[in-house]
């Protein structure tokens, strides 16, 4: 029996029972749809992570007060970094182009007239723009004179401007931070999200001296931001800073550190590791869906073989070989799963396009050509594996017994 004729017979058999065919396709459609969405969301998330790494800075090193392995907002109760630590780092660690010392408070209420918002208050130095490589969009940063006089001036992030002012120009207006009046002197350019998913534009920059003495009354430091002169020296700066602070804080071997040092490379590894774990979990979910779909296909194909005993016997009696019967049922199961796979890819791509719209940009998806290849390969594999047993059972039937039904 020629292969083309076998395919035609398989298509005819598929078309004779559309509901059964749909039920066999359904599990494959769900599995391939899930796989397609995972691939698209994974690529979109990877692109978003890489963009956030760029926002973090390829030459950046952050030193946080307090120990622990995960990068996050500074704990206000932790007082383990000082101005003396930052001065020692600047003097003894080689390869630093610029450094900013900061006092940070998270979730503080800021008011302008009848509007208010919760944001990050960042008490920094005049090196902020250079250390973070973050220019102002309008106005300017505060000056050394402002630092010396503990001036009540502020530079606002774009999110803060939008929530307090809408489309109005904030330059020259007054806001209240912790019931202290501050004059707005600048607006930061847009930055986006950090590698950990925080909105970097939701912050207000004020002079460190003002934050430490007039607002929060503390001599301690929350964070030190270093910009390396050479991005290739970031890991060396990380290790040098860690060694220096370990010595300064007299931390003995085997005891936990009371600071955290995070460079661009370690942040990138951390973010990619989190995304890899999530993608692995979702990938397992889609594979389980495909496995269930394959079991459904196999069981319904077995039912189909039982219902078509006379047809199989007649074809064997007319000269069809075991291989011909086996090929027909394998082709049937493969065609069903491949068609289900293609439908699943199309549905998955539609979902991938709609996800960013429905989530208002919170979820990223990047449709690509990979789902078509993966959908075809996986659905064909499932079809072949699910069809082997039913096809073998059909091929091994005794023609005489089969003719008797």
CA 200 – CA 357 distance, rounded (Å): 22
Calculate the average pLDDT of the chain. 82
pTM above 0.75, yes or no: no
Residue 95 is predicted with a pLDDT of 92
Distances (CA, A) of 208 to 101, 198, 245, 315: 8, 22, 21, 89
Backbone angles phi, psi at 153, to 5 degrees: -125, 155
Summarize the confidence of residues 214-226 as an average pLDDT: 91
Q: Is the pLDDT of residue 5 over 70?
A: no
Tokens of 264: 């661009």
Which is more confidently placed, 159 or 365? 159
Residue 102 is predicted with a pLDDT of 93
Nearest to 44 by CA among 369, 365, 367, 371: 365
Residue 1 is predicted with a pLDDT of 47
CA 165 – CA 116 distance, rounded (Å): 10
378 in Cβ contact with 290 (< 8 Å): yes
- Give residue limits of the domains in the chain: 3-52+269-403, 60-229
- 156-196 tens-digit pLDDT: 999 999 999 998 999 999 999 988 999 999 999 998 877 66
Summarize the confidence of residues 195-203 as an average pLDDT: 81
Percentage of the residues of the chain whose pLDDT score is greater than 70: 83
Q: Is the pLDDT of residue 106 over 60?
A: yes
Residue 27 is predicted with a pLDDT of 78
Q: Is the pLDDT of residue 71 over 60?
A: no
Residue 257 is predicted with a pLDDT of 85
Which bin fits 175, alpha (ψ -120 to 50), beta or left (φ > 0)? beta
- 114-144 tens-digit pLDDT: 899 999 999 999 999 999 989 999 999 999 9
Which bin fits 139, alpha (ψ -120 to 50), beta or left (φ > 0)? left
Residue 290 is predicted with a pLDDT of 75
Summarize the confidence of residues 104-110 as an average pLDDT: 91
Q: Is the pLDDT of residue 296 over 60?
A: yes
Contact residues for 209 (Cβ-Cβ < 8 A; gap 6+): 123, 147, 148, 150
Nearest to 213 by CA among 178, 171, 259: 178
Q: Is the pLDDT of residue 147 over 60?
A: yes
Tokens of 388: 């082997």
Q: Is the pLDDT of residue 357 over 50?
A: yes
Q: Is the pLDDT of residue 59 over 90?
A: no
Which is more confidently placed, 288 or 274? 288
């Amino acid at each position: 029996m020629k292969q083309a004729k076998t395919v035609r017979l398989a298509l005819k058999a598929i078309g004779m029972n559309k509901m059964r065919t749909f039920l066999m396709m359904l599990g494959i459609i769900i599995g391939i749809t899930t796989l397609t969405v995972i691939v698209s969301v994974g690529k979109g998330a990877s692109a978003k992570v890489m963009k956030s790494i760029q926002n973090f800075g390829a030459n950046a090193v952050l030193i946080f007060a307090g120990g622990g392995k995960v990068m996050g907002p500074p704990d206000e109760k932790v007082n383990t970094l000082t101005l003396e630590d930052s001065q020692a780092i600047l003097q003894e660690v080689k390869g630093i182009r610029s450094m900013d010392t900061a006092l940070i408070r998270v979730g503080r209420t800021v008011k302008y007239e009848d509007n208010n918002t919760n944001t990050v208050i960042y008490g920094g130095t005049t090196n902020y723009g250079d250390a973070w490589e973050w220019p102002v969009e309008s106005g300017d940063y505060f000056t050394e004179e402002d630092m010396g006089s503990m001036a009540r001036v502020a530079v606002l992030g774009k999110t803060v401007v939008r929530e307090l002012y809408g489309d109005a120009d904030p330059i020259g207006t007054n806001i209240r931070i912790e019931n202290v009046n501050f004059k707005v002197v600048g607006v930061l350019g847009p930055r986006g999200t950090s590698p950990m998913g925080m909105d970097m534009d939701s912050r207000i920059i004020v002079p460190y001296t003002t934050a430490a003495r007039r607002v929060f009354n503390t001599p301690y430091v929350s964070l030190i931001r270093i910009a390396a002169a050479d991005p290739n020296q970031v890991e060396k700066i990380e290790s040098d800073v860690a060694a220096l602070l370990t010595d300064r804080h007299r931390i003995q071997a085997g005891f936990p550190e009371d600071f955290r040092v995070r460079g661009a490379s370690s942040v990138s590894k951390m973010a990619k590791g989190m995304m890899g774990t999530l993608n692995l979990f979702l990938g397992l979910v889609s594979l389980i869906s495909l496995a269930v779909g394959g079991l459904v296909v196999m069981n319904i194909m077995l039912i189909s073989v039982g219902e078509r005993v006379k047809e199989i016997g007649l074809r064997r009696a007319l000269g069809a070989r075991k291989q011909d019967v086996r090929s027909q049922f394998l082709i049937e199961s493969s065609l069903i799963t491949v068609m289900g796979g293609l439908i699943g890819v199309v549905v998955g791509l539609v979902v991938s396009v709609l996800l960013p719209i429905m989530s208002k940009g919170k979820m990223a998806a990047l449709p690509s050509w990979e789902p078509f290849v993966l959908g075809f390969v996986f659905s064909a594999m499932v079809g072949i594996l699910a069809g082997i047993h039913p096809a073998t059972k059909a091929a091994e039937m005794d023609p005489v017994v089969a003719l008797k039904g």
